[in-house]
């Protein structure tokens, strides 16, 4: 708190006005009023609804205690300056929170409630929100199918627990206070990532699986505390073949080698498939448009039938080749092998379009 933001009771230079926050000392009280010595500025009073709004605070105040009040009336009929302890406390809290944000100081909060978007808590008496996206990697809910109810269930485990956070953003006008848990380790991660670049190969452990990919932890370089960096292997980077569920390729606890393909905003993105031979390069050499090819039907979808042509290579026989999905399922059976004609090959996009030979 700076002298510029609070008018001291001995301050003769700062003019008083409605809305000013002023420091004073409790000098008297009764059942519904609190009297505050404002020094050369006279005496302030907190009463009526302003008194009852902070009665839980007032009951713990003793004669001589220092308080801050916001002036709501410069002089009432009895000559007192009417004060609001509630508004002053809130304003001071916002100012302190701004100082916390600017300094990057880490504070501890206790989680009181959750919703589908994150965790709720209070800081300096103000409600605060910790979004799921701002949780530390180790606390991020790893729900494979991204089911919102499952995510909510995972978040409920944090109720009553304390977390270390930083103030990420605050908008006093909108009464919004946003916290971040992962921000506390970002500087350390940022420094560690200076030792890595795109193309580097790291070895780490799969720590979690979600519907969009897998999380991998690998050691910070030359780190004596065994601290680790966590990155993401997107589902599209797990294998050259079409992956519908990451558990088809990796398992939690498994040790793997992965290649860094991007580092952005302290986030690391890695690839498993870049360390594997690209089977589409051989397919492009073997086949061209119009060639006959045999393939096994592996799955039906709204788009058509997926056909396995070689290990890790699937083509698509589009639904438009049939009158309807029912007709397609009548023409082919899952697990059976059929003759197809190659309609198009797009090796860069890992796609091959097929037509069933009837």
For 251-282, write each residue's pLDDT tens digit: 989 999 999 999 987 789 999 999 998 888 88
Residue 222 predicted with pLDDT over 80: no
* 58, pLDDT greater than 70: yes
Paired tokens of 344: 């198009």
DSSP secondary structure code for residue 276 in this structure = S
Q: Quote the CA–CA distance of 60 and 45 in Å, as a whole number.
A: 17
- The percentage of residues in the chain with a pLDDT greater than 90, rounded to a whole number, is 35
CA–CA dist 21, 42 (Å, integer): 14
Question: Does domain 104-184 match CATH 2.40.50.140?
Answer: yes
Q: Provide the CATH topology of domain 285-356.
A: OB fold (Dihydrolipoamide Acetyltransferase, E2P) (2.40.50)
- The pTM (predicted TM-score) of the whole model is 0.54
pLDDT (tens digit per residue) in 306-349: 999 887 788 999 999 998 999 999 999 999 999 999 999 888 88
Range scoring the smallest mean pLDDT among 29-33, 72-76, 146-150: 146-150
Which top CATH class is 21-88? mainly beta
Domain(s) labelled CATH 2.40.50.140 in the chain stretch across: 21-88, 104-184, 195-275, 285-356
- DSSP labels, 184-228: GGHHHHHHHHTT--TT-EEEEEEEEEETTEEEEEEEPTT-TT--E
Long-range contacts of 319-326 (CB under 8 A, 24+ apart): 321/355, 321/356, 325/300
DSSP three-state, residue 84: strand
User: Which of these, 45, 127, 106, lies nearest to 78 by C-alpha position?
Assistant: 45
Enumerate the β-bridge partners of residue 110. 162
Answer yes or no: is pLDDT of 101 > 80.
Answer: yes
Residue predicted with more confidence, 242 or 355? 355
Lowest average pLDDT, out of 19-28, 88-97, 208-217, 332-341, goes to 88-97
Q: 195-275: which CATH topology? A: OB fold (Dihydrolipoamide Acetyltransferase, E2P) (2.40.50)
């Amino acid at each position: 708190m700076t002298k510029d933001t609070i008018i001291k009771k001995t301050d003769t230079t700062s003019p008083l006005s409605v809305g000013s926050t002023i420091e004073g000392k409790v000098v008297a009280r009764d059942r519904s009023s609190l009297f505050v010595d404002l020094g050369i500025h006279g005496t302030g009073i907190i009463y009526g609804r302003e008194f009852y709004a902070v009665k839980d605070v007032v009951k713990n105040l003793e004669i001589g205690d220092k308080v801050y009040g916001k002036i709501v009336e410069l002089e009432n009929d009895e000559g007192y300056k009417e004060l609001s302890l509630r508004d002053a406390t809130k304003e001071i809290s916002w100012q302190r929170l701004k100082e916390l944000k600017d300094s990057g100081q880490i504070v501890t909060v206790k989680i009181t409630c959750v919703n589908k978007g994150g965790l709720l808590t209070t800081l300096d008496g103000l409600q605060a929100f910790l979004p799921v996206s701002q949780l530390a990697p180790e606390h991020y809910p790893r729900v494979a199918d991204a089911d919102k109810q499952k995510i909510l269930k995972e978040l409920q485990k944090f109720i009553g627990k304390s977390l270390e956070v930083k103030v990420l953003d605050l908008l006093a006008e909108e009464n919004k206070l946003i916290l971040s848990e992962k921000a506390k380790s970002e500087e350390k991660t940022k420094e560690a990532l200076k030792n890595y670049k795109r193309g580097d190969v790291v070895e780490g452990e799969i720590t979690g699986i979600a519907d969009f990919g897998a999380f991998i932890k690998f050691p910070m370089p030359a780190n004596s505390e065994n601290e680790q960096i966590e990155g993401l292997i997107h589902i599209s980077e797990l294998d050259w073949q079409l992956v519908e569920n990451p558990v088809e390729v990796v398992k939690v606890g498994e040790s793997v080698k992965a290649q860094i393909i991007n580092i952005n905003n302290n986030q690391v993105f890695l690839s498993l498939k870049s360390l594997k031979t690209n089977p589409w390069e051989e397919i492009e050499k073997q086949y061209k448009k119009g060639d006959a090819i045999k393939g096994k039907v592996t799955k039906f979808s709204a788009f058509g039938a997926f056909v396995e042509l070689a290990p890790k290579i699937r083509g698509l026989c589009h639904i438009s080749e049939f009158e309807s999905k029912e007709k397609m399922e009548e023409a082919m059976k899952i697990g059976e092998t059929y003759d197809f004609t190659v309609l198009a090959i797009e090796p860069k996009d890992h796609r091959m379009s097929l037509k069933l030979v009837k």
